[in-house]
Structure 1
Amino acid sequence: MRRALDGLYALSAGLAALALLGIFLVMAGGVAVRALGHEIPAADDVVAYLCVATTFFALGHAFRRAELIRVGMLIENLSPGARRVQEIVALSFTGAAVAYITWWTLQDALFSLEIEEVAQGLVAFPLWVPKMAMPIGSGILLVAILDDLVAVLAGRKTSYIEAAEARAARGEYSAER
């Protein structure tokens, strides 16, 4: 199960990287084509959708690597038992919020599919396709949050604590403060 989950997080990070590469290629292509006196139709729209995809696909992987902003000043000063309770509460509330986001972004994408909504720009492509990045990415973040919630309930360290400790062991403190 651990390998499957880690594979899911890596796949999601790979999709974020591909979306970022797509942004670069569209923008670089736009510059090159503009030098020839032409434009790429809907380039701005494509870049905007790829920005959303990059952000949402990166969430789960970033969470697992302790790369998302976390305010740990209160939690870090608690006793181990109180810290465990606080982690459970924080992960539970965060999981509920992300589940809510996942649900409603999925409903929005499915509604776009149902009504056959298309982009209003120069190229009329179906909007449900770029919209699916939001529920997929937030769904993977939800899995990562639940993964860490299970770890805390089982008495293990969370992935973000392990990642922070690994950085500290390597002498990398820039991300911590």
Structure 2
Amino acid sequence: MRFRLLALYTLGGYAAALCLGVIGAMIAFQVIGRLIDKLSVALGAGGLNLSIPGLSEISGFLLVGASFLGLAYTYVHGGHIRVTLVTGQLPPRIRVFVELWCLSVALGLCLYWGWYVIVLVQDSIAFGEVSYGMVPVPLWIPQSAMLAGIALLALALFEAWLSTARTAVTRPSAFRIDDRGHE
């Protein structure tokens, strides 16, 4: 299957990688800061208190971004787990419709999930909700990363659904799933 919006899904993958890189950098700076503090105390200069306030909370938000923004990228590259024990044994004419049904369910659940994340983001903006940690982060920021990731996944599922539906209507006996789980 050829995804027409592969560049968009790849951008989501890069954003997820960036989130993970920022987490790694923040933790490295925190460790280095603690080592410098220990060294400073050992030399008698007193602690410098080199720490990143709210590190665990910010890392958690970045992890949410990495997890959700990488969903579509992982899907289009066949990284999600597929259980084809039953569907792999079906003849192509039946398998294409089973695959279409599975994609329909996945897309429906993704859209349902996305709808409620939209409601969540709207509520967070309306009520001015912020995190409870040392650094008050507006909650709509990490929730927007969730929403972007869900939207990208829904778009990728819709592309796969269209391609599978086209095959189901025009040439169902030619349907094949490759080793990455795509037509």
Give the TM-score range, shorter chain. 0.7 to 0.9
Q: Deviations over 1:152-176 (max 9, x none)?
A: 011189xx9446289xxxxxxxxxx
SS in 2 for 1:73: coil
Determine if contact 1:56/1:134 at 8 Å carries over to the other structure. yes
Secondary structure at the counterpart of residue 86 of structure 2: helix
Mark the runs of 5 or more structure 1 residues left unpaired by the alignment.
Answer: 167-177
Q: CA deviation at 1:74?
A: 0.9
Could you tell me which residue of structure 1 aligns to residue 180 of structure 2? 164
Match of 1:25, SS?
A: helix
Residue in structure 2 matching 1:44, options 47, 56, 59: 56
User: Which residue in 1 is equivalent to 2:24?
Assistant: 24
Aligned-pair identity (%): 28
Verify the 8 A CA contact 2:3 2:156 in the aligned structure 1: no
Number of equivalences: 163
Provide, for residues 67-104 of structure 1, a one-character-per-residue CA deviation record: whole Å limited to 9, x for no partner. 01111111111001110010010000010001111111
What secondary structure does 1:122 align onto? coil
**How far does the alpha carbon of each residue in 1:80-133 deviate from its partner, in whole angstroms, 9 at most, with x for none?**
111001001000001000111111112112211111111111111211101111
Answer whether contact 2:110 2:150 (CA < 8 A) is retained.
yes
SS in 2 for 1:149: helix
Bigger mean CA offset, 51-60 vs 100-109: 100-109
Question: Unaligned stretches of 5+ in structure 2?
Answer: 38-48
Which structure 2 residues correspond to residues 59-74 of structure 1 after superposition, within 5 A? 59-74=71-86
Counterpart of 2:9 in structure 1 is: 9
Q: Is the 8 A contact 1:95 1:142 kept in 2?
A: yes
Q: Is the 8 A contact 1:106 1:134 kept in 2?
A: no
Q: Quote the RMSD (CA, aligned, Å).
A: 2.1
State the Cα distance separating 1:9 from its structure 2 match.
0.5
The aligned counterpart of 1:173 is none
* Runs of 4+ with >4 A deviation: none
Question: Match of 1:93, as an amino acid?
Answer: V
1:19-66 C-alpha deviation (Å, 9 max, x unpaired)? 111111111111111223332100001100111111100100101111
- CA distance in 2 between counterparts of 1:69 and 1:119 reads 33
Equivalent position of 1:88 in the other structure: 100
* Contact 2:111 2:154 (C-alpha < 8 Å) held by counterparts: yes
Corresponding letter in the other structure for 2:144: M
For residue 120 of structure 1, what is the aligned residue in structure 2?
Answer: 132
- Rg larger in structure: 2
1:76 is matched with: 88
Conserved? CA contact 1:101–1:135, under 8 Å: no
